[in-house]
């Protein structure tokens, strides 16, 4: 079983729709959960991070962590074409050594 599973997509949504992304994981030692956005041939850009379980909201973005189910989610409200990118989940027992998901390619069509 892979440590972090993420559907690679692509996920295509119309502008204004809600984008729903998720990852599952197997390692119960993970405490830090992050979402990064990556544009083609660029570095991962931090979007959201959460320590342990719970929800966190930042503007149009909401991150959720359910440690009992080993499941994390990212929601993007009112999606824009500029949100088109690959979204990577990442998690770890500390800030540094991250386990990444495969990334989900999101396409927001005008």
Partner 1 sequence: EPEVTQTPSHQVTQMGQEVILHCVPISNHLYFYWYRQILGQKVEFLVSFYNNEISEKSEIFDDQFSVERPDGSNFTLKIRSTKLEDSAMYFCASTSDSPLHFGNGTRLTVT
**Contacting partner 1 within 72-91 (CB under 8 A):** 88, 90
Q: How far is CA 8 from CA 64, 67, 93, 104, 106, in A?
A: 19, 22, 24, 4, 9
Q: How far is the CB of 90 from partner 1 (least distance, A)?
A: 8
Residues 6+ apart with CB under 8 A from 54: 64, 65
What does the per-residue mask of binding to partner 1 show for 35-74, with x meaning CB under 8 A?
Answer: -x----xxxxxx--x-------------------------
- Contact with partner 1 (CB under 8 A): which of 11, 13, 22, 32? 32
């Amino acid at each position: 079983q892979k440590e972090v599973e993420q559907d690679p997509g692509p996920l295509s949504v119309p502008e204004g729709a809600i984008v729903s992304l998720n990852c599952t994981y197997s390692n119960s030692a993970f405490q830090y959960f992050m979402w990064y956005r990556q544009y083609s041939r660029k570095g991962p850009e931090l979007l959201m991070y959460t320590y342990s379980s719970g929800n966190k909201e930042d503007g149009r973005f909401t991150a959720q962590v359910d440690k009992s189910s080993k499941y994390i989610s990212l929601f993007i409200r009112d999606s824009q074409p500029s949100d088109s990118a690959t979204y990577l989940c990442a998690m770890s027992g500390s800030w540094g050594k991250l386990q990444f998901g495969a990334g989900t390619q999101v396409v927001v069509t005008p």
